[in-house]
Amino acid sequence: MTSLLEQLIDAFRVLPGVGSKSAQRMAYHVLERERAGGRHLAQVLAEAVERIGHCERCRDFSETPVCAVCASASRDADQLCVVETPADRLAIEQATGYRGLYYVLQGRLSPLDGIGPRELGLDRLGQRLDDGEVRELIIATNPTVEGEATAHYLAQLARQRGVKPSRLAYGVPLGGELEYVDRGTLSHAFGSRTEIND
């Protein structure tokens, strides 16, 4: 039978990027210096796991059936931005002036991992596009093999319903120097170049 300390260390390993040494340090830190913080963390974590679900419209994390973004009357309903994760949605929300709505896939197409259209809620997305309110589907999946396959699938889904699909531009980072950009990124940026308008 494993000791309570071993169970605590093992519990910390559920976090991404936390190996056995980091988990051990966290467990010891909580027990040596942060018992009150540990109690608070345990209480909030238990409550969050119990009460936070998914928005019925966009699949983002939400404590209510419809999240605050979807419920807002000030958002532009004719633009729908599709992202892979809630963290991607938050990044776009914080870094841009985008005022449309979102759809969070909670993953990307990956047949080898058993993740298909149904697991990503693409039937629900299709119904949303069928409503006729969305005019542009902004595809903001990551530029990975699975992300690109998902983007292609989403573009087809949009076109079948008369919705204009668009894709986030990827390429040379702002302030970056060409000699330090990897070949794949530079090739994609060169192939996706746009005309400069006055």
Confidence of residue 107 (pLDDT cuts 50, 70, 90): very high
98 found inside a domain: yes
Mean pLDDT of 86-97: 91
Does 3 fall in a domain? no
Please name the helix (run of DSSP H) or strand (run of DSSP E) that holds residue 138, with its range, or none: strand 136-139
Predicted confidence (pLDDT) per residue in 136-184, tens digit: 999 999 988 899 999 999 999 999 999 999 998 877 777 777 678 778 7
Is the per-residue pLDDT at 79 higher than 90?
A: yes
Q: Which of 61, 55, 53, 106 is nearest to 82 (CA)?
A: 106
Q: For the whole model, what pTM was predicted?
A: 0.83
Domain range spanning residue 112?
75-167
The helix (H) or strand (E) run that includes residue 62 is strand 61-62
Does residue 139 lie in a domain region? yes
Helix (H, G, I), strand (E, B), or coil: what is residue 80?
A: strand
Integer Cα distance of 42 and 83 in angstroms: 30
Asked whether residue 34 is assigned to any structural domain, the reply reads no
**pLDDT at position 175, please?**
78
Residue 23 in domain: no
**57 C-beta neighbours (distance < 10 Å), count:** 18
pLDDT of residue 186: 77
pLDDT band for position 192 (50/70/90)?
Answer: confident
| Percent of the chain clearing pLDDT 90 (strictly above) | 77
140/142 Cα distance (integer angstroms): 6
Give mean pLDDT, residues 7-24: 93
Using a 10 angstrom Cβ sphere, with 0-12 exposed, 13-18 middle and 19 or more buried, the burial of residue 129 is buried
Number of domains in the chain: 1
The domain that holds 106 is classified in CATH as: 3.40.1360.10
Closest-CA residue to 133 (of 57, 194, 190, 50)? 57
Does 135 map to a domain? yes
Asked, for residue 9, whether it belongs to a domain, the answer is no
Q: What letter would DSSP give residue 110? A: B
Q: How confident is the model at residue 2 (pLDDT cuts 50, 70, 90)?
A: confident
Residue in the structure block whose two tokens are 């894709």: 167
In a domain, 11, yes or no: no
Question: Residue length, the chain?
Answer: 198
